[in-house]
Amino acid sequence: MLTEARNHTEQWGNIDRMISRWLKERQELIVLYCKVDGLKQFSSKDTPISIRVQALCDVLIDYVSAGHFEIYQMLMKEAEQFKDDYQNTIDRILPLIQHSTELALDFNDQYSSAELCDSNMDKLARDLNQLGEKMVERFDLEDKLINSLHTCHRDMVA
C-alpha cells in the first residue's frame, strides 16, 4: 500500500511537471500571437510579419499536438489510476476542444510558409481574430480538464 501511494505521488509529480512545461508553451504561444496581432499594418512585403506568423504556426502546432497526443492522454490515465469517474468530463470537453484544433490546423495550412503568408495576407487579421477567440475558449476548456482530472488529486498525494 505504501509503495502504491509512492507510485501515485511520483506519477502525479511527473504529470504535474509535464503540464507545467506545456503551460509554459501556452504562454509562448500567447506572446507570439500578441506580437503578430499587435502589428496593425499587414503587408506582404513585411518580412518580419511572415517570420512571426510562421513562428506562431510552429508553436501553435506543437502546443495543439502535445495536448492531444500527450497531456490529455496522461490526464485520463491519471484519472483511471485514482479511480475517478472522468468519462463524462472527457466526453463533454474534448469535442469542444476539437473545434479549436481544426481551426489551428487550418490556420497553419494557410500561413506556415512565407509564400502562404504572402498569398493570404489580406485575410490575416480576420483569421488571427478567429484563431484568438477559439484559443481562448480552448485554454479555458483545458484548464477545466486539468482541474477536474489532475489538480483535484494534489491533496491526495501530498
Check which CATH number belongs to the domain holding 20 and give it: 1.20.120.1370
Look up residue 28 and give its three cell numbers. Answer: 509562448
SS3 content of the chain, % helix, strand, coil (to 5): 90, 0, 10
The whole domain housing 83 covers: 2-157
> What pLDDT sits at residue 4?
61
- Amino acid letter at 9? T
Number of domains in the chain: 1
Alpha carbon 129 to its chain centroid, in Å, reads: 17
Going by C-alpha positions, the residue among 4, 72, 71, 59 that lies closest to residue 30 is 59
Residue in the block written with cell 495550412: 109
- pTM attached to this predicted model: 0.89
What DSSP state is assigned to residue 152?
G
Residue range 14-58, pLDDT digits in tens: 999 999 999 999 999 999 999 898 875 655 555 578 889 999 999
Neighbours of 2 (CB within 10 A): 6
Q: Digits of tens for pLDDT over the chain (158 positions)?
A: 556 656 778 888 999 999 999 999 999 999 999 989 887 565 555 557 888 999 999 999 999 999 999 999 999 999 998 888 889 999 999 999 999 999 999 999 999 998 999 899 899 999 999 999 999 999 999 999 999 999 988 888 87
Q: How far apart are CA 15 and CA 97, in angstroms?
A: 20
Q: How far apart are CA 33 and CA 104, in angstroms?
A: 12
> Coil, strand, or helix at residue 113?
coil
